[in-house]
Amino acid sequence: MDNAKSLSRRSFVAAGAVTAGAAALGLSACGGGSSNNTSNTANTNSSGTAAKGGTLTGAAAYSSTNYNPIGNSSALVLGAIWHVFEGLYELDLHNYTTYPALAKEAPKKISDTQYEITLRDGAKFSDGTAVTAADVVNAFQLNMADATYSAMLEFIDSVAAKDDTTVTLTLKYAFADLLEGRLAIVKIFPATQTVDDLKVMPIGSGPWMYDKINGDEGGAIDFLPNPNYNGSYPASADKMHWDVLKDATARTTALQEGSVMVMESVPDANVDQLTAAGATIEYVQGFNQAFLMFNTKKAPFDDYRVRQAFYYAINVEKLISNAMAGNATAITSFLPKEHANYHQAATVYTYDPEKAKSLLAEAGVSNLTFTLMCNNNWVQDLSAQIKEDLDAVLGSGACTLNVTTIAWQELAASDSILPYDVMLTPGDPTCFGNDPDLLMSWWYGDNIWTQGRSCWNYTAEWAQLQDYMQQARVASGSAQQELWNKCFDLLAEQVPLYPLFHRKLATGYLPKKITGFAPIATTGLVFIGASCAQ
């Protein structure tokens, strides 16, 4: 499929590995080919002979109590969803190539805007019921109506059942290059499951099924193999168990003591401790980021020059060195350099306090005081220096810091000015996919972000971005890339919501206990293709 070609230029390559022993494991799992992925690339990162059976174990860094696959953005739940559910097509999250999952083969093109998709022969849910086209239609309709996922599925006009095993997909416009990867967002479940069922104990057709679920801090998720799975990637152990350990010390202890085989989100301070215990720690460069978001309906943040001044005022290289232990990369565009569709933006921000002061003066802004709302998670470690840098440009005490849990529900779409000035928070939509249109649609589409958070959708520049994005959706090759480049340049100029850096994610695992495992560049754990080592 064409999108594998555009996304696979070592899509988010592993930047480095810290290992106990003489040699690091190979990193080929993070590369990609130029054609459809038909084998699980995680198996390339092997450290021993796969054992038959056993229990795969992991320490998850996030918690959640809602397991509904519709519209879910929880890092914990998305990781579980990748194992329990299937879409018509699935993404290999090590390289973002696609492969048929519930679909028997690639979509059959009827016209530029109509396709037929045949379901895999004998596909069943874990409860033994057959997967039907009606189940697919139901799942798509619910996801297309969801506030979180709808912008990423906006290209679909309708989904219908031609017969029990054939789905007819009608598009609003041609979307061939990105089609399979985007269809992977929608996970299929029995149409008989209610919303309450889906929240508590949803049923899928993937290689694993839920056994017990307690996603609270200190809880655990237990999985069993789906006895009815007949796809290409069956469960490779007797059980799987994830401990929900938001506390980094608890996760570190679990990996150090060997009570888990894999740990996500390894703190930089604990790398030496874990490698001494025999763990491999891999850093994978990704899209994960800390970003600033401005209330663009509130003066003076409605002026892009003021927003630009913030980016020149902050010493990002110092942030990366001190707060991130060097494990991040300063931005030169919306995308990291490792991304296949990278383009260096026309505006690249470097630390330049005098430039920041000049922009503020040009915008007629003086004596600016504001509150920086900072999410109460890993980005709070950045906040003290950011306040110091901004105060140095604006004057001592100009920035009031408010570290808190962001109450997103309070930032609903409204004609009134929202109750914040500037926000520092993290994000990473690459858990859904990696194509530029998806990544831009997440934060800059006609959705909750632009309607009720940045509130940028009232501007002429936002309208121009939508035009470029729409032209790119129906284009291909160099014409598509040129249009995306215009998007990247516009975003770098306007910065209504824009990254400070792209983070390298650290995952730890015990090569003596697990084989076929490889980390990914986004949050969540992937055990597809992994086995207990012997």
Tell me what pLDDT residue 14 has. Answer: 33
Higher model confidence: residue 253 or residue 10?
253
Single-letter amino acid, residue 447: N
pTM of the predicted structure, to 2 decimals: 0.87
- Tell me: the pLDDT tens digits for 371-423? 999 999 899 999 999 999 999 999 999 999 999 988 887 776 556 778 899 99
532 DSSP β-pair partners: 514
- Mean pLDDT is lowest, of 49-53, 138-142, 361-365, 428-432, for 49-53
| 13 — pLDDT class (breaks 50, 70, 90) | very low
- Mean pLDDT for all residues in the chain: 90
- Work out the percent of the chain whose per-residue pLDDT is above 70: 90
| pLDDT exceeds 70 at position 40 | no
| pLDDT exceeds 80 at position 42 | no
| pLDDT exceeds 90 at position 175 | yes
Over range 202-229, report the average pLDDT.
96
Tell me what pLDDT residue 2 has. Answer: 39
Question: What does the block give as tokens for 260?
Answer: 């888990």
Tell me what pLDDT residue 448 has. Answer: 84
Tell me what pLDDT residue 18 has. Answer: 37
| pLDDT exceeds 90 at position 47 | no
| pLDDT exceeds 50 at position 469 | yes
- Mean pLDDT is lowest, of 38-52, 226-240, 367-381, for 38-52
Tell me what pLDDT residue 6 has. Answer: 36
Angle (CA) 365-371-375 rounded to 5° is: 135
Phi, psi of 285, deg, nearest 5 = -65, 130
Where do we find the tokens 């100029």? 493
Tell me what pLDDT residue 412 has. Answer: 64
| 496 — pLDDT class (breaks 50, 70, 90) | very high
Closest by CA to 512, choosing from 44, 94, 16, 19, is: 19
Tell me what pLDDT residue 29 has. Answer: 23
Phi, psi of 243, deg, nearest 5 = -85, 135
| pLDDT exceeds 50 at position 193 | yes
Tell me what pLDDT residue 183 has. Answer: 98
Closest by CA to 423, choosing from 303, 292, 315, 308, is: 292
Higher model confidence: residue 27 or residue 433?
433
Tell me what pLDDT residue 409 has. Answer: 73
Tell me what pLDDT residue 410 has. Answer: 73
Higher model confidence: residue 7 or residue 207?
207
| Alpha carbon distance 511, 517 (integer Å) | 9
| pLDDT exceeds 60 at position 15 | no
Tell me what pLDDT residue 534 has. Answer: 83
Tell me what pLDDT residue 113 has. Answer: 98
DSSP result, 209-241: EEEEEE-STT-EEEEEE-TT--SSS---SSEEE
- Tell me: the pLDDT tens digits for 48-80? 567 779 999 999 999 999 999 999 989 999 999
Secondary structure letter of residue 154 according to DSSP:
T
| pLDDT exceeds 80 at position 11 | no
Phi, psi of 54, deg, nearest 5 = 85, -175
Is the separation of the CB atoms in 240 and 55 below 8 Å?
yes
